[in-house]
Structure formats: structure tokens, C-alpha cells
Chains A and B, each alone.
Chain A
Amino acid sequence: MSWPPPLPPAARPFLGFAQLLRAHGFAVAPEQVVAFLEAVELLGPRHLTDIRRAAVATLAPPRERIEEFLALFAAHFEGRGRTVPAAGEEGEAEPLRVQEEAGGEEELLLEVVGESKGEAASPAEALGLRRFAPAAPARALDRFRREAPRRLPRRRAAGLVRAKRGPVVDLARSLRRAATREGEVLELAFRRRRVRQRRLVLLIDVSGSMKEQSELHLRFAHALARVAERLEVLTFGTRLTRVTPALRLRSVDRALERAARTVRDWDGGTRIGEALAAFLRVPRLLGFARGAVVLILSDGLERGDPELMVRAVERLSRLAHRLVWVSPLAATPGYEPRTAALSAALPHLDALLPGGSTERLCRTVLELARIEPARRLAA
């Protein structure tokens, strides 16, 4: 076996650019780098513009990061000042930690340095542990468990299953039936698309302003985990924590106890925008949202940069099948979002629904399947 010939030195700056992009969090696949090199060769290149166009076409930067991409390009190929705002370069705020529990240990998935400049109330972490007293089972939750299996949002999945009636004739089965009647086709057998439950993603605000609600929300999430086929639950405050494994425990009290231990930022500050941005930055978490019904249980009182939150919500709304904000404040008649962040994020939401009590939460979730998509415009 012979080694492939080494790349010519002229290829180095192009490979270097791909590495630079990766270092800045762009997903660049090897096949894209190959396409980039081929494209540059094909184009001549007669001018730097050719290289730039080839880079944009083959490396396909996401639309919302095109400015950053072009700035990196200029810095790399033209040597113009490296003033690219790299993630985590500035900002005195404390890092936002993304964590999950794995085998009893706390596992750090990502540490994101905050982009908020620390104005307004300090989002300082007030790390604390929570204890939940065992509570009598709520009747609303029992009814919810009974009704949920047939009312949770569904999606058509790949593959066909047998059905009494359906758009597709099951020829094999029809002919077999006909064979028992001397070849007369008296009735047709059908198949239809398989239907699955849609993945649900619950993002629960556990900051100070939601103190009253967070236990209720976790109890509800636990009830939901018993009936939903695919569910992911994360809490956020000054950190983003995945609590899905804890909620899989059968006993609600044990599940809550374990969740209480995993979540470290009970009743602290709120950095909704940063938490959502961090959620989008971890590919595995982002994958949960793709095609799912995403619920954000929060009052929307953002202390950080509203712009960051709006951008994150916008991105999330493009990933998710439906994006629904559930606010305890929305239960008040005549409620309209007052905070700049939430009202700016409103156009990207499919619905803003009331929460605040177990009954209302149950009703809201059972109605999810009926939510029509908001008329969103391409960015």
C-alpha cells in the first residue's frame, strides 16, 4: 500500500482556513474541504474573490453566521486585523455551564462564556440545593396520564403498516385473500403510514422568578415522562442541565430528589438567551430539538441581552416542528408580554400559552397537537 502523495504546499492556506473555521465552531466536513480545494483549482483562481466565492459555496456557512465567516476569511487570506469576535473571548460574566448527570457523576458538556456585559441585575449564580417534600398525587395528573397517549402530538414515520383502510393497497395480502375465494378479489387489504409520537423537549426555567413554579414543572415533567415515548427535559437558570435520566425513575419522589441533586442553580439568576444559545451550541442537544415540539416553561423575564434571546428563539423555531412558550403570567386574562425580549421573540413562536398550575399545564400539553404553525418568514 502506498501513501497518497503529500499535498502541495500551496494547499496549506486552504486547509488552514478550514481549521480556523473549525476552531470558531463552524462544522466543516472533510468532503467539504476537498470540494473547496477542487473548486479553487477549477476556478483558476484569478482573484481572491474567486476563492471567497468558492469558500462560501462549498463550505456552506449557516446564513446567520455569514458575517463572521467572511470576517474570518478576510483575516486569514487578506491578513486584515483579527477582530473576529470569537466565542468566549470577551465578557467578564461567569461562564454558563451545560451539564448532565452521567452515572452519578456530573458531566460538563460545554462551558460558554457569557456574552452579556453584566448590566442590569447581576446574573450571579446562587448555587443551591433543593429539597422536595413528598406530595399527594394530583388528580389532574392521573387524568392527564390516561388521555395523553392518544392526544400527544404525532408525526408520520417512515414505513407502512397494515390497516383496515388506507391509501396504499397491500397487494400481497389482497391476493392471498383472493386465493381463498377462488381468485375473486372481493375485498382489498390496505397499508398506511406508521404514526409515531413526536419528540417533546421541555426547557424549564428554574431561576428565582420561577421559584413558585419549578417544583410543579418538574412534577409535571415526570408525569409526562411516563406517557411520552420520546421526551427530553432540561432546566436552565444560570446553567443548563439535562435532567432526562433523573425523570425516567418510576417513583416521582425519587426522580425529583435526583433531579434536585443534579440541578445546581435553583432559584438563581436568569440568563435565558445564553442558556438557549448554549443549548443550540451542543450538537447533541440541538439534535433533540430538530423536528420536535419544543416547550419553554418560563416567565420570559430576561436579565441578559434580549437580542441574544431573540436570536436563539428564532434559530430554535426553525429547528423545531413547533415552538411553544408556556408562561405562568399568560394565565392572566388580557396578558400581553411586556418584556422587550419576549415581545421581540413573539413572532418566532407558534404559540404563547398559559401555565402556572398543573391543570393548565395538562390542558396546554394535550392541546399541543392542534397548534398550527405561525406564519414564519424566511430570514
Chain B
Amino acid sequence: MPATRTVYGLNSPEALARALEDAFYLADPELATAAWLALALGKPLLLEGAPGVGKTEAAKALAGILGRRLVRLQCYEGIDAAHALYEWNYPRQLLALRQAGDKPVDIWGREFLIERPLLQTLEAPHEVLLLIDEVDRSDQEFEAFLLEFLSDFSISIPERGTLKAAERPVVILTSNRTRELHEALRRRCVYHWIDYPSPEQEARIVMLRAAGVAERTAKAVARAVARLRREPLVKPPGIAEAVEWAQAVDLLIAGGTPWPEAFRRSLGVVIKDEDDLPHVRARLDSILEEARA
């Protein structure tokens, strides 16, 4: 029994975690293990978590270290196969017919096909990383359709025949969990729940992503943001907000604004919902006091 195996040049979850860190993404061991297993087993990786915890970022970082083009399929309510697979370019077909006159013309040629993300993936499975973003927004039919696609990676176009991927492509699905995905879809994937990072981890992320931000600011922001997420907010701040807040605070301090005032003035960077502002303003002093300690 081989102790380890090398997948895409990475021989262990730790190696993947290190590579991700070089790509400015800090992955906890659980995420690194799940992602590595997904690659090794040739299964899609399903990432679930609250908005703003870095699900899409993880996919981008992974595409970066695998040296693949990111093909993104953004799901929404009402998305159907035509938006995900392919469409025929009818105007072009009509024009071609018109131009051809009496000569025969193949209107089902490749040039009349508009390739959508899933077809793009099948055409070059070794070059792309397919990101199916926010699956929870699509409806059940589309989920069933995805299930079929993810199990055999083939598409049949009536006019052109069936197209099958030469190898299993790398696929990442994300869900904000606004609704529960079907069991069958979860079963087919390697699963990971992304949580908000711990304040220490988040301070590291902030410093990694916003070079030049003082360590003191990064730590205070991370603690304050962690505290804000425990408040009953409509839109709890994500990691991107934490990074931006740290940058904003640093800028203000450089401009001569005193410490707590800089946090207060840049609140709009981190709290982006009208309803949340009064709630947070009333508690900001105690939150900052705590974060500073």
C-alpha cells in the first residue's frame, strides 16, 4: 500500500496547504485535506459556508496553483441547461444560409455553437478548473441536471453527437446554504464546510492580502470582526470586508486620524447594510475596547 501518492505534483494535504499559502490563500488543514482528496479521488469538491468566508477565493487559488484557467458558472434562480451547456447561434446560422444561396452549408458546424461553461470544460478538461458558484441559488431541475453532468462528464448535442471529457475535470461547487442541496449531489462530492477563520488566522490573512498593514491593526480588526459576526446582523462582515477595513484604518491613521476614531470613521467599509449600522454604532466602543486588549 503506497503511503502517499502524488496528485498534480502535490504529495500530501500539507503540500497543498503550503502551495495555497504561496498563492496568498490560507487554508486550514481540514480544507486542505478535503481539496487534496477531491483531486486524488477525481471527485468534485463541494464547499459550503456563510457568504464571505472565501469559498470562491479558494477555487481561484486552487486554479492558480494547478496552473489552470478558471471557468466559472454562476448559478441563479431559473438557470437552465442552455445557459450552462451550449446554445446555437441562430442569427449566424440564418446569415450563413442567406449567404450560401444555393450552395450546401452545414449549419451545425462548430462555428455556430456558443460554448457555455460546462461545454468549455468538456472540451479542455486538463486546462480548466470548473467553478460552479452558488449552486443553492439554482432550482431543482438544474441540480438534477448537474448531478447527471458530474457523474459522467458527457454532454449530448443532438445535432453533433455525444461529447465526453477525455479525463475527469477538476470541479469545485460552492453553496451559501440558503437552501439545502439534494443528498445525491452531496454524495457525489467531497464535502467541506468553511467556517469563519479564528481571529489569529484572520489577522494572518489580512496581513497576507494587504501587505503593509501594521500587525497591530490587523489583529485588532480581526478581533473586532469576529465579535461583529456574533452580533445579530443582516449582513455579517466577510473576510474581504476585514481586509478592506484594515486597509482603510491604516490609511486614516497614516493621515493623522487617532486610533479608535479611524475605526469608527471607516465603519462603512465593513458594515454594508442600512439596518445594521445603528445596532453596531451603539456597541462599537465596547467592541473596539475589547479588540484593542
Contact = CB atoms under 8 A, between A and B. Distances in A.
A42 B41 CA distance: 9
A157 B141 contact: yes
Nearest to A27: B183
B260 interface: no
A58 B234 contact: no
A57 B192 contact: yes
Interface string B177-189: 1111011001111
A19 to B, nearest CB: 17
A378 B140 contact: no
Q: How large is the interface on A (under 10, 10 to 19, 20 to 34, 35 or more residues)?
A: 35 or more
Contact of B40 (A42, A63, A193, A318): A42
Contact of B33 (A50, A156, A158): A50
A378 B50 contact: yes
A350 to B, nearest CB: 12
Interface string A116-127: 000000000000
Contact of A193 (B50, B80, B182, B236): B80
A212 to B, nearest CB: 35
B178 A378 contact: yes
Contacts of A57: 30, 33-34, 37-38, 190-192
Interface in A242-291: 290-291
Contacts of A161: none
A53 B176 contact: no
B1 interface: yes
B269 to A, nearest CB: 20
Interface stretch (A31-39, A218-226, A293-301, A361-369): A31-39
Q: Which of A53, A319, A379 has the most CB of B within 10 A?
A: A53
A92 interface: no
A157 B78 CA distance: 9
A54 B43 contact: no
A311 interface: no
A171 B33 contact: no
B187 A60 contact: yes
Q: Which of A38, A318, A377 has the most CB of B within 10 A?
A: A377
Interface string A293-319: 000000000000000000000010011
Interface string A207-227: 000000000000000000000
Contacts of B88: 171
A44 B15 CA distance: 14
B32 to A, nearest CB: 9
A56 B37 CA distance: 11
B99 to A, nearest CB: 13
Interface of B: 1, 3-5, 12-13, 29-30, 33-34, 37-38, 40-41, 43, 46, 48-51, 78, 80-82, 88, 90, 93-94, 139-141, 145, 176-180, 182-183, 186-193, 234, 236
A29 B185 CA distance: 11
Contacts of A230: none
A272 to B, nearest CB: 21
Nearest to A32: B187
24 contacts: A31-B187, A42-B37, A43-B13, A43-B37, A49-B29, A56-B34, A56-B191, A56-B192, A57-B38, A57-B190, A58-B41, A58-B190, A60-B46, A63-B193, A156-B80, A158-B80, A158-B81, A158-B141, A171-B93, A185-B94, A193-B78, A319-B179, A377-B236, A378-B48
Given A155-B139, A319-B180, A378-B51, A168 B82 contact: yes
A377 B29 CA distance: 26
Contacts of B12: 43
Interface of A: 27, 29, 31-32, 35, 38-39, 41-44, 49-50, 53-54, 56-58, 60, 63, 66, 155-158, 168-169, 171, 185, 193, 290-291, 315, 318-319, 321, 375-379
B249 to A, nearest CB: 26
A53 B40 contact: no
B177 A378 contact: yes
A42 B5 contact: yes
A63 B48 contact: yes
A208 B33 CA distance: 53
A275 B12 CA distance: 46
A203 B176 CA distance: 27
A331 B33 CA distance: 53
A41 B29 CA distance: 18
B182 A290 contact: yes
Given A56-B191, A378-B49, A318 B93 contact: no
Contact of B43 (A27, A35, A63, A66): A35
Contact of B193 (A27, A44, A66, A156): A66
Given A39-B190, A54-B37, A315-B180, 15 more contacts: A39-B37, A41-B1, A42-B4, A42-B37, A43-B33, A57-B190, A60-B189, A66-B193, A155-B139, A158-B81, A158-B141, A185-B94, A193-B78, A321-B179, A377-B236
Given A66-B193, A376-B178, A378-B49, A44 B236 contact: no
